[in-house]
Amino acid sequence: MILSAMIKALSGRKRWLKVKRRYKVDREGVYVIMMPDADREFNECALRRIDDFLNYRKGNSAVILTTDEWTANNARRFSEHVIAVEWISERDYKHFFDYFYYQGFSERFIMMSLRGWHGERLSLAETVNGITKEDMACLGLYIIRNWENSGLSNG
């Protein structure tokens, strides 16, 4: 079982290095945002706030990796700073997940998901005092510290 996870993590590392080289991730201010959820509302909130995220993190552009067809087809219309959108398989997503789990490999890799990493616990907050999916995306996953939204001030 451990060997299997390590092999998957190595596959995720290989895929990461290709993405990193192709888009010059560490040298050009590029962020890679993984969006594996099929939750259209959540993905739309995250895509609408890419420019806020890049501004806050002093990034120049974003590459979207997604397993979701709607996100793959619509991501570029939300920001001119989205330089590429790549559809990836569920298997590749899991390999990225395993690699990140064992080796937090880059500050420039953001997991925008309510089903993996910190998102699983974060999704429980949706019903608390008016917290919205946009709040979860901006505060919980993009970690934009100066984010202000009415949902948080209601409780």
Span 97-133, pLDDT tens digits: 888 877 777 889 988 887 765 555 666 666 677 777 7
Q: What are phi and psi of 53, to 5 degrees?
A: -60, -50
Q: 23: domain range?
A: 2-153
Is it the case that residue 147 has pLDDT exceeding 60? no
Span 84-95, pLDDT tens digits: 999 999 999 989
| Beta-bridge mates of residue 110 | 33
